[in-house]
Amino acid sequence: MRGFKDIIGQEHIKEHLQNAISQKKIAHAYIIQGERFSGKEFITKVFAAALQCEKQGTEPCGECRSCKQVQSGNQPDIIYVRHEKPNSIGVEDVRSQVNGDITIMPYSSPYKIYIINEGEMLTDQAQNALLKTLEEPPAYAVLIILTTNLEALLPTILSRCVVLHMKPVRDELVKEYLKKELMIPDYKADICVAFARGNIGRAKQLATSEDFENIRNEALSLVKNIRNMELHEVMAAVRKIGEYHQININEYLDVISIWYRDVLLFKATNDTNHLIFREEIQYIRKAADKSAYEGIENILKALDSAKSRLHANVNFDLVMELLFITIQEN
């Protein structure tokens, strides 16, 4: 059974939770904040398993009845709050699954643990209902809210919870994980690490995604040939990203951004060691020779502007046309 020892990075959270266990100073409510795929769910599962473990150590033993129940998803005193509406956790969800259940003593464990994933979906009414439980919780109750967005939670909720923030994992640790655990080759691991920005779950997703591999190849093909392409050919190439459902336009633009950062870095240093796309050095060298420093910087600024405009729902074709005109001119 995996435990705190298997969590990559997040030393501050591991230390806090394990100290709480060893000192028997468990808070009644926690909020773990972090972006999607950052590992919030895994940390929560390990913490809950350790709290309920019959050996009462700072790691789940993996051998006792409770740990085996956790592994099979049948621990009766670890309750995952479900919601029927796809984008909302409503007041009835909280009342029926938390407030109406919390007064019942644990079946077989020292704690009764309630886990609310996607806490940003809690309506204000649901949070107010939850507040009543947080104000006077039973001694055995532990509530854990996972969220990507703290601002979606009421100040009255935040003030009654221990808030723990997920931090980006160091690149070298992410790369080591991809190479050792997933057997990802060195060059591909570098690319996934660059895109993941410290999010190990995201790195794993990219490393195993056929869509990402395809869109990377499409984007690289575009930037390597863009100076010889007509605008309608460029736009046709960009529209192909619609075929890749799991990867959005930001990832496509990120590939291009990293490419031009490589071009800028090589132009400045003439060194390939720190390039992400070093296997494309022949094309990077050509691009570095043809573009001035100012031109490359203009392209990078245009890429950032394109992301902002698309986020603001500016017309897709217009944004991309302006972007690729800038790239061709620089």
**What pLDDT, in 10s, does the model give residues 104-134?**
999 999 999 999 999 999 999 999 999 988 9
134 with 221, same domain? no
Q: For the segment 261-273, what is each residue's pLDDT rounded down to a tens digit?
A: 999 999 999 998 8
Q: Flag whether pLDDT at 246 surpasses 80.
A: no
- The more confident residue out of 236 and 306 is 306
- The pLDDT assigned to 230 comes to 82
Q: What's the CATH code of the domain at 102?
A: 3.40.50.300
95 with 226, same domain? no
Interatomic CA distance for residues 46 and 31, integer angstroms: 15
Q: What is the pTM of this model?
A: 0.79
215 with 302, same domain? yes
Final residue of a structural domain among 165, 191, 223: 165
303 with 227, same domain? yes
Least confident residue range of 24-33, 140-149, 152-161, 219-228: 219-228
* Three-state DSSP class for residue 143: strand
135 with 14, same domain? yes
Task: Kindly state the percentage of the chain with pLDDT values over 70.
Answer: 97
DSSP string, 33-97: E--TTSSHHHHHHHHHHHHH-TT-SSS--SSSHHHHHHHHT--TTEEEPP-SSTT-B-HHHHIII
3-state helix, strand and coil shares in percent for the chain, rounded to the nearest 5: 60, 10, 35
Final residue of a structural domain among 165, 190, 221: 165
Q: What's the CATH code of the domain at 299?
A: 1.20.272.10
| Residue range(s) defining the domain that contains residue 282 | 209-329
123 with 46, same domain? yes
CB 260 within 8 A of CB 303: yes
Q: At 58, list the tokens.
A: 């700072």
Q: At 119, list the tokens.
A: 């806490």
In a domain, 171, yes or no: no
Q: How many domains does the chain have?
A: 2
**In this structure, how many other beta carbons lie within 10 angstroms of the beta carbon of residue 174?**
26
Q: Report the C-alpha dihedral over residues 133, 138, 140, 143, rounded to 10 degrees.
A: 10
144 with 24, same domain? yes
215 with 307, same domain? yes
Mean per-residue pLDDT, 201-223: 85
